[in-house]
Structure 1
Amino acid sequence: MGTNLFRWLFEDPITAGSNGNLPSAETFHFLWPWLIFCLVGLLITFYYSVEGRKRFVRSKPLLKYMYDRYLGWFAVICFIGLPLIGARVLLDGYFFSWRVWRYLWLLSLAIWAVTWIVYLVRKYPAERANYEAYQRRRQYIPKGSKRKARTASR
């Protein structure tokens, strides 16, 4: 079983097609779903970086930090996915058309999703409570007078 899995992961589509008695290379059935996923992911990240930061999270620094951090990694994963899909479609008999690359890419996507969920469940509520406590403390601290600061500096 181990050698069959190894052969299945590291076999190019042309060899897989000839071993499976197919007339040509093995077909790639998930081209459009993966392509749409990667392009929509890049579009969401681009929109957030151009407009979303100003519109949605301007006064919410915790959300801004979280979206900056995790959407940046999501964009990297989606950007890496596009050449992997292109290599599978256009470079049938070469190194990057192996299945192992697509499954490593899916593994990285799953790790990213689990990391984000763990952050949302474990760390974000504590950070939000800490920030709200900081905001409450800050409202009772007197603000410095600009007039006194100007006269002291002269």
Structure 2
Amino acid sequence: MQTNLFRWLFEDPVTAGSNGGLPGTEPFHFLWPWLIFCIAGLLITFYYSVEGRKRFVKSKPLAKRMLDNYLGWFAVICFIGLPLIFARVYLDGYFFAWRFWRYLWLLSLLVWAGVWVFHLVKRYPQERAGYDAYKSRQQYMPRGNKRKAASR
């Protein structure tokens, strides 16, 4: 049996169900895992932005900057995933119900995870070493007298 990848990616669930011999639309088996993933991703990002920045990474500026950047993009990816799931479930025969959009979304999630792992493995240790060197240099720098500066 030969499958046509183009047709498989760009076929709406109603047509795919009728071509596959199903009485209705093609079922969407991953509704709950995707929905839970997207909602959990948005909740984690929201918690981090409200409370986690102050509690977990208050004294670690490199980790704070990294989490700010990458969790922001993670929230965008999760936010885009919710309308794609909605379109697949409720808008069966329309443009955004195609498999192509869900696999493009999954590809963006994998690219995001790859960039984050690359940053953790390759760039974060270099930035950490540079920050530690900066902190050790700062302890030998003379500090200004705030009392003299305020009286002028």
Q: TM-score, normalised by structure 2?
A: 0.97
Distance of aligned partners of 1:49 and 1:2 in 2 relative to their CA distance in 1, 3 Å threshold: farther
Q: Is 1:107–2:107 an aligned residue pair?
A: yes
Per-residue CA shift, 1:4-23, capped at 9, x if unaligned? Answer: 10000000000000000000
Runs (4 or more) in structure 1 with deviation over 4 Å come to: none
- 1:19 paired residue number: 19
Alignment of 1:133-152 (within 5 A): 133-151=133-151
Alignment of 1:34-113 (within 5 A): 34-113=34-113
SS in 2 for 1:140: coil
RMSD, matched Cα: 1.4
Shift of 1:3: 7.4
CA distance in 1, matches of 2:2, 2:46: 42
Shift of 1:140: 1.1
SS in 2 for 1:23: coil
CA distance in 1, matches of 2:37, 2:17: 26
Give me the identity figure in percent.
Answer: 75
Q: Is 1:121–2:131 an aligned residue pair?
A: no
Structure 2: segments with no counterpart, 5+ residues: none
Q: TM-score, normalised by structure 1?
A: 0.96
Per-residue CA shift, 1:69-90, capped at 9, x if unaligned? Answer: 0000000000000000000000
Shift of 1:149: 1.6
Number of residue pairs matched by the alignment: 152
Distance of aligned partners of 1:55 and 1:80 in 2 relative to their CA distance in 1, 3 Å threshold: same
Residue type of the partner of 2:54? K
CA distance in 1, matches of 2:98, 2:122: 37
Per-residue CA shift, 1:29-85, capped at 9, x if unaligned? Answer: 000000000000000000000000011111111011000000000000000000000
Structure 1: segments with no counterpart, 5+ residues: none
Shift of 1:99: 0.2
CA distance in 1, matches of 2:64, 2:4: 46
Shift of 1:148: 2.1
Shift of 1:92: 0.3
